[in-house]
Structure 1
């Protein structure tokens, strides 16, 4: 028996050098349809053997999820066993990527994670429009993971008053957090997600914030992510901070579906 946790562009080519840069913590943030961003294989959770119960349960969960509709872009499923036999699969799609778009990202992530982390019991992979996490650790709600995060940024700096730009960006992201953290169960809006745009003189600033729907303290996670921007992305034209608990992004060009 499986359990499921619910709370209610352009294509550009990537050179080999660019792919290598994506593996480090701070890399260029590009407007890609669904680019691979990063992955982690968690060796501390061990490996599974071919034909093992873990593999069978993992394949069953993935098969079940593959037929889903992903109406709100999120699923957390488990085989309901205790560690080390626990198998968990979490798929979180970006707030504008749900339904068939989310299902497509899930299929891509599954195939690539199997290739990059073969037979690892624990692993995570991030794409532009989703992340996939598998592992033996199960808790609901999940604790915020501040360790498995990374940042990306546009290589170009904003012209003019950098400090003013940084403050306006932080303030705008903070205002979006207030919208995302309302978590109104009966709302027709996507839970734990907010996006918008503001004018910055001749430019516009576009931004989004989002939390995974099975964490308890969305606001704390996103506020921590905003603080990371000063360490990785000071004055950059675009940046994002990603993890398995929450993520945020801003750019001076539109990068979301309207």
Structure 2
């Protein structure tokens, strides 16, 4: 987001059900010690490193969604990589590769972790995470600038986010992503909106996840010119400046 200095990575490890009101520019690391650790050079450690390395180097996937498993029984590792829908494949893989390094360094030896960066999300777990809508842990960010004429801004924003939610949820198993823009009558100010789900969700699950995230806007970002609500299965963002490229149509 534009205001203030921004740490490149925003890291949240699975510890609290919803970590609220994290201000823009502050990186947050919360290590999850409640879901099990692995030891260095263990089978789980080897499986995790193998999986994350192959995830970011897979050149066969060009639509920004990676979901793979490696290992078996108690040493199985499941991972999801999700890139913002406007990223080119090379930029997506670069983002995931950076995330792979950061997620293991920031909180080592954890069996479950999730990391959101500006352009991609990476998460792994020893539990099943595929085809499963998850709304926590969650993460908020907001633009420091305030809007004028809040009621009008909120009404336009609400219509905009409802529009992109329906379009994203109707996407296929490769991409559930949509962007749009709408102008207010306030100095012809334009609001830009983006929503995205992991495409392994059903249309109904994606709708539900996004609607829940949008309902958090008054809590996290009321009166702000921009905001983000990040969840494991979906994310939303709005700004008064363009922050995405035109999405590729599959």
TM-score, scaled relative to structure 1 = 0.82
Residue in structure 2 matching 1:203, options 176, 189, 204 = 189
CA deviation map 1:183-204 (0-9, x unaligned): 246xxxx621000111223211
Structure 2 residue aligned with 1:153: 142
Structure 2 counterpart SS, 1:125: strand
Spell out the pairing of 1:86-125 with structure 2 (5 A cutoff). 86-125=76-115
- Closer, same or farther in 2 for the Cα pair 1:245/1:37, shift >3 Å? farther
Number of matched pairs: 234
Q: CA deviation at 1:57?
A: 1.0
Spell out the pairing of 1:1-258 with structure 2 (5 A cutoff). 14=5, 25-27=20-22, 38-69=28-59, 70-79=61-70, 81-82=72-73, 84-142=74-132, 144-160=133-149, 162-184=150-172, 191-201=175-185, 202-216=188-202, 217-258=205-246
5+ residue gaps, structure 2 = 13-18
Structure 2 residue aligned with 1:3: none
Structure 2 Cα separation of the partners of residues 76 and 223 of structure 1: 24
Q: CA deviation at 1:167?
A: 1.8
Structure 1 Cα separation of the partners of residues 58 and 4 of structure 2: 31
TM-score, scaled relative to structure 2 = 0.84
Q: CA deviation at 1:230?
A: 1.0
The answer to whether the 8 A contact 1:38-1:126 is kept is: no
CA deviation map 1:15-55 (0-9, x unaligned): 7xx79x9987335558xxxxx96554332221111211101
Structure 1 Cα separation of the partners of residues 155 and 24 of structure 2: 20
5+ residue gaps, structure 1 = 1-8, 31-35
CA deviation map 1:198-222 (0-9, x unaligned): 1223211111100012223100000
